[in-house]
Amino acid sequence: MSSHKRVSLAACAGWVCFSIATSASAADEGGPVRDILFAQPFRLDKPYTHSWRKEQPLVKAGYLLVLAVDPEFARPLQTAEPVLYVGDQTAERINAGDVSGRLVVLVPSSSNSQNDPTLDLSKALIWFGAPELPERIDAARVNIEINAALSKGAKPWPAEKVRVALRRGGRALHLRNREALEQRLATLLQEYSPNETDLIRGLRVTNK
């Protein structure tokens, strides 16, 4: 990524978000995360465990994102893969995206009194960090990765892009549980990464 100017960072409580003031106007679209295409907030009646992080927090709210990514960079590996971060959180990659160049991800967030996610996507960095198993990533490691990303010039996506993505996502989902969320994920995959037919098929299976 290219360098940037005057970046400052402040952490929020709970599902920490970034307040990044920067004179740089946009994220670097030449990096592996090329665009934010879709964003939809969700909240769940029944939380699920976020296994993509060492602390394994329970998730009641967050965002469904669709990111445009470098397909080669997203190619699944058995060895350690670059970890995708959104704000101060590890994102759960739902699909491979190595053919479509589209990654559908789940981003946990803290929630407000109305149980809506508090993560401000317009202020959050979205980047691939160093290769590691996400289940080994803890808060300390996240901070290291944040600093490394900032030093490389990472910036939040322009507010307008985020607005467009949120507009495309539509109103917040209020779902019963993770399984219901996965039905929505299947729909998104059908739209953004339709070649992953087996994954879609698997997510849509609900009956015994």
Partner 1 sequence: MTQVVGGFCKRGDLVNALSVLLSIGLMASGSSFGNASIRAESPAGTGVVRLKLAGNSLSAYPYFEYVRAINQGSTVEVAVDPFRYPGVTGQRADLYVVSHKTEAEWAADPQLIDVRGQPQSVTFNGLDIAGNTFLVDEGLLSGDSGIGLGVPYDVVLDFNVDGLLDGGDYIDGLGDAAGFYVVAPTQLAGPLAVSQVIYSGGSFLGQVTFHPTDIASMKQLPLVVVSHGNGHNYLWYDHIGNHLASYGFIVMSHQNNTGPGIETASTTTLTNTDYLLGNQATIAGGALNGHIDSHRIIWIGHSRGGEGVVRAYDRIFTGAYHPSNFQLEDIILISSIAPTDFLGPDMSNPHGINYHLWVGAADSDVNGCASCSLCQSFHLLDRATGTRQSTSLYGVGHGSFHNGPTGLVADGPCLLTRAETHQIMKGYLLPLVKRYTEGNIPAKDYLWRAYERFHPNGVPTHECVVANLEYNEGSAAMNFVVDDFQSPASTAVSSSGGAVTYDVDNLVKGQLHDSDGSFTWAPSDPMNGMTVGSASDITRGIVFEWNTDRTLSFEIVPERRDVSAYQYFSFRAAQGTRHPLTMLELAGRTFTVSLRDGNGLSSSINVGAYGGGIRSPYQRTGCGIGAGWGNEFETLRTRLSDFLNNGSGLDLTNLVAIDFQFGPSYGSSAGRLGLDDVEFTLD
Neighbouring C-alpha atoms within 13 Å toward the C-beta of 161: 22
Rule CB under 8 A: say whether 208 interacts with partner 1.
yes
**Distance of alpha carbon 208 from alpha carbon 97, whole angstroms:** 29
Contact 18, 121 (CB under 8 A): no
Rule CB under 8 A: say whether 184 interacts with partner 1.
no
Rule CB under 8 A: say whether 145 interacts with partner 1.
no
Strand 89-90 relative to strand 81-86, pairing: antiparallel
**Rounded to the nearest 10 degrees, how much is the dihedral formed by the CA atoms of 179, 182, 184, 186?**
-140
User: Total residues at the site for partner 1 (CB under 8 A)?
Assistant: 32
Rule CB under 8 A: say whether 14 interacts with partner 1.
no
Query: What type of residue sits at position 88?
Result: D
Q: Residue 74 belongs to what H/E stretch?
A: helix 71-74
Q: Which stretch binds partner 1 (CB under 8 A): 90-98, 119-127, 146-154, 156-164?
A: 90-98
**Distance of alpha carbon 141 from alpha carbon 144, whole angstroms:** 5
Rule CB under 8 A: say whether 88 interacts with partner 1.
no
The contacts of residue 48 (CB under 8 Å, 6+ apart) are 58, 59, 177, 178, 181
Rule CB under 8 A: choose which of 28, 35, 88, 92 binds partner 1: 92
Q: Please list every residue from 149 through 168 that binds partner 1, using CB under 8 A.
A: none
**Distance of alpha carbon 47 from alpha carbon 157, whole angstroms:** 28
Q: Please list every residue from 110 through 139 that binds partner 1, using CB under 8 A.
A: 133-136
Rule CB under 8 A: choose which of 10, 11, 76, 138 binds partner 1: 76
Rule CB under 8 A: choose which of 28, 88, 145, 182 binds partner 1: 182
* Nearest distance, CB of residue 172 and partner 1, angstroms: 20
Q: Which stretch binds partner 1 (CB under 8 A): 11-19, 51-59, 138-146, 166-174?
A: 51-59
Contacting residues toward partner 1, per CB under 8 A = 48, 51-53, 75-81, 92-93, 96, 98, 133-136, 178-179, 182, 195, 198-199, 201-203, 205-208
